[in-house]
Amino acid sequence: MLVRIRGYETPETAGRFRNQWVYVKSTEVPPLPEGRHYKYELLDMQVVDDQGSDLGILREILETGANDVYVVVNAAGKEILLPAIPSVVLETDMQARVMKVHLLDGLIEERGS
């Protein structure tokens, strides 16, 4: 995403923000295309498998080189790591705040295992 920072008109003056986190109000972010979501919008969603079983709450998103990894925490406090890939993430219902996933054998693991 290309951004402009008021008061920093040249690449040299804006360079002070290089490799830094820059925050904006959620009301000021541009809308994304249909079916796309900002990562912050996914946090705290209920996660269920394709059989309807509750897996927990999406608490964190890890950025890796290949794909993001969703950290889901269940009621017992255990963390499940889910790759954020189309074959795993089946549906994201933003209105109901529920994400439906398919658990692939061998790809799902608990963090710290």
pLDDT-derived band at 28 (thresholds 50, 70, 90) equals confident
Rounded Cα gap, residues 46 and 63, in angstroms = 20
* DSSP line for 38-59: -HHHHTT-EEEETT--EEEEEE
Instruction: Kindly report, residue by residue over 59-99, the tens digit of the pLDDT.
Output: 999 999 889 999 999 999 999 999 999 999 999 999 999 99
In a domain, 19, yes or no: no
Question: What is the number of domains present in the chain?
Answer: 1
Local structure of 65: helix, strand or coil: coil
In a domain, 20, yes or no: no
Strand-strand pairing, 79-83 and 89-93: unpaired
Tokens coding 24 = 């904006």
Helix, strand, coil % in the chain, rounded to nearest 5: 10, 30, 55
Rounded Cα gap, residues 55 and 79, in angstroms = 10
**What's residue 8's pLDDT?**
92
Q: Which domain holds residue 60?
A: 39-110
Tokens coding 53 = 């079983």
In a domain, 22, yes or no: no
Contact (CB, 8 A) for 81 and 69: yes
**What's residue 81's pLDDT?**
93
In a domain, 79, yes or no: yes
pLDDT-derived band at 25 (thresholds 50, 70, 90) equals confident
Tokens coding 4 = 């402009």
Summarize the confidence of residues 3-19 as an average pLDDT: 88
